[in-house]
Amino acid sequence: MRAGGRQAIPSQVCPPAETRRERSVLTGPAAPPAALTADEAQRFRALVMPHADAAYNLALRLCRRTDVAEDIVHDAWVRALAGFVSFRGGDAKSWILTIVRNRFYDWAREQRLKGMARLTRPANDSDDADPDWDVADVDQPTPEDQMVGKTEVGALHALIDRLPPRLREVIVLRELEELSYREIAQVTESPIGSVMSRLSRAREALARAWREREAQMAGVRP
């Protein structure tokens, strides 16, 4: 069943067959590995490695699949290493999260080109719609009643994951990664005004969904 044992991932976490790849679910030319000196490598470890959790958290909330999230982060690391010599200080967290985010959108675009994206809505790239390149969340079919019975953490993940990606990313960057408006603007390559308005809409949607869940929970257990 396992493809010749070539995959380093233990069998119990092997992704479903249709998603399994030889090395990475990301295709396209990866940047050639640039040799860093030992000092630069040490600097990279000190500056960038501490943000691995942030990178994974963002990637996972964007793509909503653990195997893809790991590949996105790994790929971002390879790119970051290749471009590290040109990184002239500044905020390493914003820098690596920008790369992670770009890798996610690259991956999403590849999915669309491969025709694998399930079109959930008509083509529309506005903030509040799932754009046609966003991949349907196969794990969360999202009827409201599925919220009931989930653990609180599971329900929160499901609520975030139901937001359109442009709103999803700002809420993750602000509330989970605690980035400032300016940093979020930098990572998402958007004006600060857009960041604030997306943040506000994301919060409104989350608060409303949360209230609905609470109401349903109360209905289930009167």
Partner 1 sequence: MNGCPEWADRLQALVDGELDASHAMEVEAHIAGCGACAEARTALLDLRAALRSEGVRAVAPRRLMARLDAAVHASTERPARRVFPVRERAAWSVAGAGLAIAACAVLAIGVAPSWQTASLERDLVAGHIRSEMAQHLTDVQTSDQHVVKPWFDGKVDFAPPVIDLADQGFPIVGGRLDYIDQRTVAALVYRRGRHIINLFVWPDRAPIGPPEAHPPGGYTLVHWARGGMTFWAVSDVNEADLRAFQRLLEARMPS
Residue with tokens 């869940």: 213
Distance, in Å, from the CA atom of 8 to the CA atom of 198, rounded to the nearest integer, reads 39
Measure the CA dihedral 212/215/219/222, to 10°.
160
Longest Cα pair distance anywhere in the chain, in angstroms?
Answer: 64
Binding segment (CB under 8 A) for partner 1, from list 76-84, 104-112, 114-122, 130-138 = 76-84
Distance, in Å, from the CA atom of 60 to the CA atom of 68, rounded to the nearest integer, reads 8
Q: Residue 108: which of 77, 80, 72 has the closest Cα?
A: 72
Site for partner 1 in 145-204 (CB under 8 A): 152-153, 156-157, 160, 171, 174-177, 180-181, 196, 199-200, 203-204
Determine the residue type at 144.
Answer: E
Q: Is 45 one of the binding residues for partner 1 (CB under 8 A)?
A: yes
Q: In the bound complex, what is the minimum distance in angstroms from residue 153's beta carbon to partner 1?
A: 4
Select the residue interacting with partner 1 from 21, 66, 132, 137 (CB under 8 A).
Answer: 66
Q: Residues in the site for partner 1, rule: CB under 8 A? A: 8-10, 13, 33-38, 40-41, 44-45, 49, 52-53, 55-57, 60-61, 66, 69-70, 73-74, 77-78, 81-82, 152-153, 156-157, 160, 171, 174-177, 180-181, 196, 199-200, 203-204, 206-207, 210
